[in-house]
Structures are given as C-alpha cells and as structure tokens.
Amino acid sequence: MSTPNVEAVKLDELNCWRIRHGQAELLVAQQGAHILSYQVAGQPPVIWLNDEAVFKTGKSIRAGVPVCWPWFGNFERNPQSVKAMRVSQEPAPAHGLVRAMDWELGGIEAEGESLKVEFLLPYPEGGLPGWPHQVDLKLSIRLDSQLHISLTSHNQGAETVTISQALHSYFAVSDVRKVHVEGVNGLSYIETLEDWKTKSQTGDLQFTGETDRIYLNAPAKLSIVDPAWERRIELTSTGSRTAVIWNPWVDRAAALSDMADDGWQRMLCIETANVMDDVVALKPGASHTLGVSIGSKPL
C-alpha cells in the first residue's frame, strides 16, 4: 500500500491540498470542494488548471471541476420544478449556490491501492440562501488508475426536492481544433447557440467554433481523442443521462476576464449532468449520486 503525500497549500485567498498518490497528483480547493487539476506523472494534465483562474474567497473558479448545484447554468433556463425550489426574488447566480462555499474536509485516507478524499456540505440552519431545503451534500474523490468523482445529495427534509446539477469538468487538450469526441453519434442535442433548437448529431463531434450543446440520453461512456498528445480521455458516468459540451472559442474567451484570450484552445468541457428532462426529484429520505470516472489511455 502506498502512503499518500498530502501538502496544504494556499492559492491566493483559498485553502487547498496538493495530494500525490502513486503516479497521480491532485490539487483540490476547500472552497466548492473544487478539483483544480489532475495529472499523472510524465503525461500532460487531464483536468485543466486555467492559468488565469482567480482564487478569491466567495468567487467561483473557472478551472478544474466546479460543482454546479442545486441548479445548472442560467437559473431561468431550468425546468419549472427546479425553479419552484427557490424562494428568493434576488437574481440567481449561474450554476447554483455551492461553488463558492467552503466545504468540510471529511477525510483523506488510503483504501488498499486507492486513495479516498471526502468533502461534506451539511445543510445550514434554514437551508441555503433563498433555498430552504434540508439536503446534505457529499463529494467523494477516489484515486486509483483513474480519477473517480461522485456527488451525493441526501434529502433530510419532509418534502420532495427537485434539483439540476453537474460536475462541470474542464479537460486539458493539445488544441481543441484537433480533437474530437466519440460516443455522441446519433444523439439528439439542444443547440443553445441557435435558440435552443433540438438537433441530431452525425458522426463524432469536432470543433470549428463556439460550442454549447446539451446532449440528451447520452451513453455512459464518452471519449476525447487527442492525436497530438497521442491519448484518449475516457469518461464513464453514473446517475446521469445528459452531457453538456462547451468551448467558448475566440470571442467569448476574449470577453472572460478569468481566461487568457487563447485559453479556449487548451480546454474542452464535457459536463456530467442532470439537466432538462433529466433533473432529479429527491423524495424525503432519498439520495442520488452523480458520478464520473476519468481515465487516460494511449492511442
């Protein structure tokens, strides 16, 4: 059994941990239980740590794997069942309420040849701001030959609670113009850049401009094929039937203060999600786990 090496580090205002286990290195922030980077020794990074990311208390981080919960994306684009959960009249922040909150570190421990890291976000008295529901959250990270991430929501209250959510993973690529995504051929998707029309995918997804698509009834397995880096990143999801694929391209990246103008070339988001008709209704006492396993293989 290998002994993990855990180092507490500070990135500007945020408390983080750099965790080394076997050949893998993980960087994770307490704020948002946010995985910032993941890399295997001698290989390019798998999870993208944005050079221009801002590490400020209370500000969400554009990098790594943000946790989007209890709604995804633009609040007003969520189904009515999700919007009904919120009682505030204030503008709703994109991607929910927990990305910029400090989570409790539940523990870092070896389990055989793997390493488990756990973060907890018990519901505060009265619930989250404008969202008065008794749902506990747990983010579990497991490192073995892959990176396994799971987000479990447990409804401790007396009413059914409906959520949308995502593990908003940013993947590192050699050049997004030269990679493609396998596993989407034949899927229906919502083209958010064309008035949210529903379209059908033909062949693998290649990137020639800004991309923001919600793939419906997605398979458990998707792959990013990166010939320049001679590798395939494989994603295997659980508890999800939707995948959001996003790249800001030139103009959108230039408008983002926390991304380099050419940062779009080096990243690609494939988000393991529960959105649109795939939202989660948690009955009293029920739990749901959204998960993704991420591994890299040579081509």
Residues known to be catalytic: 168, 271
Q: Which amino acid is at 196?
A: W
Cα 174 to Cα 229: distance, rounded to the nearest angstrom = 6
- What's phi and psi for 24, nearest 5 deg? -100, 145
Cα 228 to Cα 220: distance, rounded to the nearest angstrom = 25
Long-range contact list for 78-84, CB < 8 A, 24+ apart? 78/164, 78/275, 78/279, 79/162, 79/164, 79/276, 79/277, 79/279, 81/162, 81/279, 81/281, 82/162, 82/163, 82/164, 82/279, 84/162
What b/e sequence results for 13-32 when a residue is b if at least 16 CB atoms lie within 10 Å of its CB, and e otherwise? ebebbbbbbeebbbbbbbbb
Cα 246 to Cα 237: distance, rounded to the nearest angstrom = 17
Cα 69 to Cα 224: distance, rounded to the nearest angstrom = 25
* Bridge partners, 119 (sequence order): 105, 139
Cα 56 to Cα 279: distance, rounded to the nearest angstrom = 30
